[in-house]
Amino acid sequence: MKKHLLILLFAVLAALPACAQSFTLKGRVTDSNGSPVELCAVAIPAQGKVTMTNLKGEYSISGVSADSVKITYSMVGFKAKTRVLRRPKGKMNLTIQLQEGTELAEVAVMQERRQTGQSEKLDIKDAKAGPSVTGNAVEEMVKMQAGVGSRNELSSQYNVRGGSFDENSVYINGVEIYRPFLVRSGQQEGLSVINADMVDRVEFSTGGFDAKYGDKMSSALDITYKKPKKFEAKIDASLLGGGVYIGFATKTFAWQNGFRYKTNRMLLSGGDQKAEYDPRFLDYQTYLTFEPNKRWKIELLGDIADNRYNFTPQSRETTFGGTENSKSFKVYFDGWEKDIFRTYFGSAAVTHSFTENTKLQLQGSIFFTNEQETYDIQGQYWLQETGSETGMEDDLAVGTYSEHARNYLKANVKSVKLTFQHKTKKHNWLAAFTYKNENISENSKEYEMRDSAGYVVPHTGDRLDMIYSLNAQNELKADRIEAFVQDSYRFSSKGEHAFFTLNYGVRFAYWSFNKESIVSPRVSLSMAPAFNNNFTFRFATGLYYQAPFYKELRDTITTNGVTIARLNDKVKSQRSIHFIAGMDYRFKLANRRFRLSTEMYYKLLGNLIPYSVNNMKIVYDSKEQVSGHAFGLDAKLYGEFVEGTDSWITLSLMQTRMNIHGNSVPLPSDMRYAINVFFTDYFPGTTRWKMAVRLSFADGLPFGAPHRDLGQEPYRAPAYKRVDLGLSYRVLENKSIFRNIWLSFDCLNVIGSNNVNSYYWITDVTNRQFAVPNYLTGRTFNGRVVLEF
C-alpha cells in the first residue's frame, strides 16, 4: 500500500512542472495584402489573456501550457480567426493573415474596437432593440448617451452639453443634413431623415470633434449607409406607423430602398386636450452604389419626405399645483391648424481610387424644403383656484384668446464638395473644399390677442394692442465656402508598449452674407499606456464656431405693439473653445465585457446669441452677443449586464452660465443632472423572449414668461421622469423565406409621469401672469410585428 502511495506521489510531483509550464507566442498579423494590422486583439480566452498588435502588426502573448490552447485574433472590419496550439511550450512564432469581412458579432464578443478619437461608435442593433416613440431609432439611441439631453419624447432633436438644438451637425455619407425650419413642437415633427434600416455605421461626438465636421459648436453625428451584399428585406407595422425595406446586390451593384409611415395620433389623443388629430408623416429613401472596378465608385442618395399635421382642438382641462394651491384651467376651442413640411434631398458622388490608399471624391448635393404653418384658434378659458380655504372654486382669470398664423418658408441649399484622402502606415490625411449656395425666402404673419374680463391685454386705455404680433418678409441669398485639412497620426513609444493617436487639423469658412471669415484649429490625442492596454486616455481642445444661419439672423424691432423681423447682417459666428479630458477602461466581470468611459469638459463661450425656447421653437435675439461657459462630467458604463446582450448606464452633471444685461444666468438648456439607463435581457432559458427598458431622469430647464427680455427666466420646470418597456417574442428564426419574425409589445411611459413640455401663460387685466403646464404624452401601449427576409 505504501509503495503504491509513493509511486502516485512521485507521479504527481513529476506532472506539476508540466502543468505549470508556460509559453510565449510571438508573431505578426497582416491583411490580405500583407500590410500590418495594428491594434488587433490577440487573446487566450480560457486564460483571460489579451494583448494588441503594435503599429507593425507584431504581438507577443504569454500563457500556461495545456493539451490545447485556443488563440483568437479579432479586429473590427476583419473576419475573426482562431488557432489551436497543441501542448505549446517555450518560445513560438505564428504569423496570421486576416481577411476583410463583417463578422461583427464574433469580434464584439472578443474585443471592442478602441476609441482613439473623440467620436464614439454606437452599435446600430442597440438602436433597434428598445421601445420606440418617434420611430427615429438612431436619434432615440443618441438621446440616451452621456452629455445628451432631451425632455421631449415626441421630438428627434436634442441638446448636447448646454448647447441648443441648432448646435448639432448631422452627416449622411459625408453630406450635411438640414432640418425643417418652422417646426415649433414635437407634435409637428415627422420622421427623421435617418432611416435606421439603411444604416451601417453610427459615430457620435459630444465635443472636441475633428476638423472634417462643420461649423457647429456642440456635437457631430456621422451616419454611413450600408451596401447590402445580397437580397434582404424587412416589413414592420405598428399602431404608430410602419415601414418597408428592400436591398439587393450583385458583384458591382448595390441598391437599398426604404419607405416609412408614421402617425402619433394615438400618443396625442391620450392627453388632457380633447381634439381631432390627423398627423401623417411619409418618407422614401434610396441609396445606390455602382463599382465597375476597384478604381471607380458611383453613389446616389435620395430622400423625399411629406409631413402633414392637421389639428382641430375641442376642449382642454388641466389640473396643476400642490394640494393646498391646486388650480384648474379649462378651455373651449374653436378653430384649426394645418401644417405641411415637404423636404427633398439628393446627393451624387464619384470616387476615384488612384491606389488603395489614395482617393479623390467629387460630391454634389441639393436640399429643398417647402414649409407651411397655418392656424386660427380661438379659446374661452377659465382659470380657477380649487384648493382655497372656502372649499369653493375661485375665479383667477376669465377671458378669451385668439391665435393666428400664416407662415410660409422655402429654402434650398446646393453644394459641391471635393475630398482628397491619402493613407500611409502611420498617417491618414484628409482634405476637402466645399462651395454652398443658399436661398431662403420667408413670408410670416403671426398675432395673438388676449381679452381678460372684457379688457384687451395689454390694456393701454387709448388703443387696441395685441399681446403679440409679428410680420416677417425676408429673403436670403448667400454663398458659403468651407475647407479643411486634417491628419490622424499613429505612433508608439520606444519599445512599442504605449500607443498614441494624434488627430490635428484646421478648418476655414467664409460666408458672403455677413462677410465673415473664421478659422478653427482642432487637436486631440489618445494614449493606450504601457502599464495596462485596457486603459485609453484622451485629450482634446479646439476652437469651434457656430456659423449663423437663417434663424440666428432674425432680428426683431417692436413699434406700437407690432414686431417686425428683419435679417441682421452684422451677426457674427458664436464661439466655443473646448477643453476635454477623458478615459476609457475595458474590463471583464464574470467573464463578461464592460467599458467604463468618463469625460470632463469645459467650454468657454463667446459671441453667444441669446435665445428662448418654447416647446421646440427657438427664438434668437441678435441685438446683443454675450459670453458664457459650460462645464461638467459625463460617465457611461457599457457592457454585458446580461450575457449576450448590451446595456448601459449614463450619468451627466453640468453647469452653464451666460452673462447678459450685467447678470449671470443659466442657459436655457441648463440641465444640471441626467441619468439614462438602457437595459436588455432574455427570459430565463430561452432567447425567443427579449425585454428592453429605457429609463430617463433629468433635471428641469429654466423658463420664464414669453415676450420679455431674454435672461429673465427665474423659474425651473419639474424634473423629467420616464420609463419605456418593450417585450419581444421571436416567432420564427431562419425558417423558409423568413430570417426572423418578431412580435413586440411596448408600454410607453410605464409610470404615467406628467412631464412638462412647456407652459401656456395667462395674463389678467392687472398684468398678473399664471403659468399653465403643457404636458407630454401619458401612458400608451403599442403593438408591433416585424418580418425579416
Residue 285 has pLDDT above 90, yes or no: yes
Determine the Cα–Cα distance for residues 293 and 578; give it in Å rounded to an integer: 43
What does the DSSP assignment read for 625-661? -EEEEEEEEEEEEEE-SSTT--EEEEEEEEEEEEEET
What does the DSSP assignment read for 555-606? EEEEETTEEEEEE-TT---EEEEEEEEEEEEEEEETTEEEEEEEEEEEEEEE
- Looking at residue 5, its pLDDT comes to 44
pLDDT in tens, 206-237: 999 999 998 899 999 999 999 998 999 999 99
Determine the Cα–Cα distance for residues 110 and 174; give it in Å rounded to an integer: 30
- Looking at residue 103, its pLDDT comes to 42
Q: Which three cell numbers stand for residue 408?
A: 410660409
What does the DSSP assignment read for 420-448? EEEE-SSEEEEEEEEEEEEEEEEEEEEEE
Q: Average pLDDT of 584-594?
A: 88
> Which residue type is seen at 141?
M
pLDDT in tens, 303-327: 999 999 898 988 888 888 776 678 8
- Looking at residue 443, its pLDDT comes to 94
Confidence of residue 409 (pLDDT cuts 50, 70, 90): very high
Q: Which helix H or strand E contains 17, and what residues bound it?
A: helix 2-19
Out of 273-282, 364-373, 387-396, the most confident range is 364-373
Determine the Cα–Cα distance for residues 670 and 715; give it in Å rounded to an integer: 12
Residue 663 has pLDDT above 60, yes or no: yes
User: The pTM is what?
Assistant: 0.85
- Looking at residue 17, its pLDDT comes to 42
Residue 43 has pLDDT above 70, yes or no: yes
Average pLDDT across the chain, whole number: 86
Residue 16 has pLDDT above 70, yes or no: no
Compute φ and ψ for 227, nearest 5 degrees. -115, 110
CB atoms within 10 A of CB 59: 21
Residue 81 has pLDDT above 70, yes or no: yes
Q: Average pLDDT of 526-552?
A: 90
> Which residue type is seen at 290?
F
Confidence of residue 650 (pLDDT cuts 50, 70, 90): very high
Non-local CB neighbours of 213 within 8 Å, separated by 6+ positions: 169, 171, 205, 220, 222
Confidence of residue 469 (pLDDT cuts 50, 70, 90): confident
Find, among 248, 249, 262, the residue nearest to 193 by Cα.
262
Q: Average pLDDT of 752-776?
A: 81
- Looking at residue 674, its pLDDT comes to 95
Q: Average pLDDT of 443-465?
A: 70
Q: Which helix H or strand E contains 458, and what residues bound it?
A: none
Confidence of residue 8 (pLDDT cuts 50, 70, 90): very low
Find, among 348, 358, 352, 362, the residue nearest to 293 by Cα.
352
Residue 282 DSSP SS3: strand
Determine the Cα–Cα distance for residues 747 and 736; give it in Å rounded to an integer: 32
Find, among 288, 303, 269, the residue nearest to 192 by Cα.
303
Non-local CB neighbours of 777 within 8 Å, separated by 6+ positions: 133, 153, 154, 267, 268, 270, 271, 748, 749
**CA 613, 564, 188, 185: dihedral to nearest 10 degrees?**
10
DSSP annotation of 683: P
Q: Average pLDDT of 260-285?
A: 85
CB atoms within 10 A of CB 260: 24
Strand boundaries in 699-755, DSSP class E: 702-703, 715-716, 720-735, 738-748
What does the DSSP assignment read for 164-177? -GGGEEEEETTEE-
Residue 661 has pLDDT above 90, yes or no: no
140 or 712, which is more confident: 140
- Looking at residue 707, its pLDDT comes to 67
Find, among 209, 154, 158, the residue nearest to 186 by Cα.
154
- Looking at residue 7, its pLDDT comes to 45
pLDDT in tens, 470-520: 898 999 999 999 999 999 999 888 766 788 999 999 999 999 999 999 999
Q: Name beta bridge partners: 399.
A: 381, 452
Residue 699 has pLDDT above 90, yes or no: yes
Determine the Cα–Cα distance for residues 488 and 86; give it in Å rounded to an integer: 41
Non-local CB neighbours of 203 within 8 Å, separated by 6+ positions: 119, 120, 121, 122, 221, 222
CB atoms within 10 A of CB 274: 13
Q: Average pLDDT of 702-716?
A: 75
Determine the Cα–Cα distance for residues 588 and 69; give it in Å rounded to an integer: 20
- Its sign, for the CA torsion 169, 173, 179, 185, is negative
CB 331 within 8 A of CB 383: no
Find, among 587, 691, 579, 682, the residue nearest to 638 by Cα.
587
Determine the Cα–Cα distance for residues 482 and 430; give it in Å rounded to an integer: 14
CB atoms within 10 A of CB 468: 17
Find, among 653, 643, 640, 648, the residue nearest to 694 by Cα.
648
Q: Average pLDDT of 624-645?
A: 91
* CA-to-CA dists, residue 206 to 116, 142, 163, 213, 220, angstroms: 15, 10, 10, 12, 7
- Looking at residue 152, its pLDDT comes to 87
* CA-to-CA dists, residue 400 to 158, 168, 466, 614, angstroms: 34, 39, 13, 21
Confidence of residue 530 (pLDDT cuts 50, 70, 90): confident
Determine the Cα–Cα distance for residues 25 and 41; give it in Å rounded to an integer: 14
Residue 672 has pLDDT above 80, yes or no: yes
Compute φ and ψ for 126, nearest 5 degrees. -65, -35
> Which residue type is seen at 615?
N
Residue 266 has pLDDT above 60, yes or no: yes
- Looking at residue 463, its pLDDT comes to 59
pLDDT in tens, 182-199: 887 777 787 888 999 999
CB 125 within 8 A of CB 688: no
Determine the Cα–Cα distance for residues 212 and 435; give it in Å rounded to an integer: 15
Determine the Cα–Cα distance for residues 739 and 475; give it in Å rounded to an integer: 52
- Looking at residue 154, its pLDDT comes to 86
CB atoms within 10 A of CB 395: 11
Residue 90 has pLDDT above 70, yes or no: yes
- Considering the chain, what percentage of its residues have pLDDT values greater than 90? 45
- Looking at residue 113, its pLDDT comes to 62
Determine the Cα–Cα distance for residues 180 and 304; give it in Å rounded to an integer: 13
55 or 485, which is more confident: 485
DSSP annotation of 33: T
115 or 175, which is more confident: 175
Determine the Cα–Cα distance for residues 56 and 51; give it in Å rounded to an integer: 14
